[in-house]
Structure formats: structure tokens, C-alpha cells
Amino acid sequence: MVWDPIITKEIASLPDRSEDVHKGDVGRIVIVGGCCDDAILMVGAPALSANAALRSGAGLVQMLVPKPLRLQIATMAPCATTRSLPTEAAALLAAVEEFRADVVVIGPGLGDSLSPPVLVEFLNKFQGRIVVDADALNLLARVPDAVLENPKRLILTPHPGEMRRLLTARGIDPPSGNKAPQRHQAAADLVEAFECTIVLKGQGTVVTNGERLYVNETGNAGMATGGAGDVLAGMIAALIGQHMQPLEAAILGVYLHGLAGDFAAEELGRWAVTATDLVQYLPEAFCEHEVSQGE
């Protein structure tokens, strides 16, 4: 792959929001996640994504979660609706289409609630935008020969460990080291392997679609906490649901996510920041960006 992207520092303005807007006009988002089995229970991740999507301007959010977890997760995200997670691709697609979803986030806390083949089939059959995060990335890595149809619809959001699993599954040696050059190369390799928009998380999160590359400068070490990535996935989905293109939404989401983390760390200290704090400081980050864009 010839890797010569345009390095960009441009961060988009917040999506337009007219005074007569309806909740159905600004993004119908589905979050697919959560798991419960004999080994592990994960309930917070889909709720964090849902709450972050709503804090980022989404009009309607529905969570598809395992039936035994519906009540627990519903109480953690009371502004979203909750539905049982189908485990077959056709039924999952039907549930998403019944909600008339614009964007799907798949993966937060998902565990093995879906099988790898079901995940791949859903990725190919749903024609809207999909943010593939967390355990959905691990499931995807377990299908090394998966063919993704129309992959430009997809936004993959791996952390370094998930990046290594994805590249290894595709027969690509992950770059050694975690410095900027290695991270840029890893992002390039992911674009070559999957042809998607890539958000490679970590210090200096890298966002690229192979044509443009953005390296984020907001955020701090306090954001190295469980659930932070679930918040980011919900934010990116919400921005896409408000008619932003995937790359622009990913860049803006990463920037605002880091800015919220900076505000949280300034108030609470880096050692005390949690993912729920990131959601709580999103309004401050959005307002700061709105003001700065107007100056």
C-alpha cells in the first residue's frame, strides 16, 4: 500500500441543529452489546455508549442486550429504550431495521453474545453506518477470511491490543512499539486490511481513512480507564447520525472525548476519572468547541 495521506488538523464544527428539529431527524442509534454467562457479566458498557450518544446529540437510542440483562441495563440509561438481543443475523437485522436505525454501535461489553459468523453476516447485511468496537473487533479477528461488503460504511475503533489481533488475523505483522511512527503504520495496515475508517485509540489517537490522517492532541492519562472506549463509540455514532461523514465524525468525536477527559481531570484529578465522568463532562466539551468555532 502506498501510504501518503494528507495530514489534517481540521476539526469540524458541531452538526447544525435547527430550531424546529425533531428527535427522529438527529439520529436513531442502536447499541448492540452486553453479555452474561457463567464466567462474566458486563452490563455497563452498552449503557455508557447509549448515554454518550444521547449526550452527543442523538435523538433516539435503543440498546439490544441479552434478555436477562434488560432491566439492569435499562436503569443505567433511562433515556434509551431497551430490547432483547437476537442471536441470529436475520433477527438482529430485523430488530435494527424495525427501529429504523441510522447508525449501529456493535461490541460494547458484547463478549460472546453473538458468534463471529453472525457478526460478519450482520455487518454485511445492514446497509447503514456501523461503529465496530470492543468485543465485536475480537469476534471479527476470529474470522480471518471475512469479506466485508461496502466497508467504507464501517468505522473500526481498536485499542492497541485489538489492533494487534486484527492485523495478525489478516496475516500482517503488527508494528513493534507504540510510538507515533509505529502507530501511524498500524493504522495504515488496518486501512489496507479492512478498507474502513480507523480510529486507533491511545495516546495521540490516530484517525484515518487512508486518504487523510488526524492525530489527536486532547486527552490525558486519566482516561486510561474501563469504559472510556464505549463512551467514544457512542459519541461517534451520534455525530454520524447527525449527518456527518464517518471520518469527520470520528475526528470530532475523538477530539471532544479527549476534551471532556481534560475537563474531568482538571476538576477531579487524573487518578479519579471514570468513564461516567467523561459522559458528565461532554456538555462542557461541546460548549467549549461551539464557542471556539464561533470566534
Non-local (6+) Cβ contacts of 145 within 8 A are: none
Non-local (6+) Cβ contacts of 236 within 8 A are: 131, 155, 157, 199, 249, 250, 253, 254
Residue 29, strand partner residues: 61, 103
Non-local (6+) Cβ contacts of 204 within 8 A are: 180, 183, 215, 216, 217
Read off the C-alpha cell for 102.
441510522
Give the model confidence (pLDDT) of 246-273 as tens digits.
999 999 999 999 999 999 999 999 999 9
Max CA distance (Å), the chain:
54
Q: Residue ranges of the domains in the chain?
A: 23-294
Give the model confidence (pLDDT) of 110-162 as tens digits.
999 999 999 999 999 999 999 999 999 999 999 999 999 999 999 999 999 99
CB 88 within 8 A of CB 118: yes
Phi-psi region of 133 (alpha: psi -120 to 50; beta: other; left: phi over 0): beta
pLDDT category, 62, cuts 50, 70, 90? very high
Distance, CA of 109 to CA of 121 (rounded, Å) = 20
Non-local (6+) Cβ contacts of 180 within 8 A are: 204, 215
Give the model confidence (pLDDT) of 72-91 as tens digits.
999 999 999 999 999 999 99
Statement: 23-294 belongs to CATH 3.40.50.2000: no
How crowded is the C-beta side of 217, counted as CA atoms within 13 Å? 4
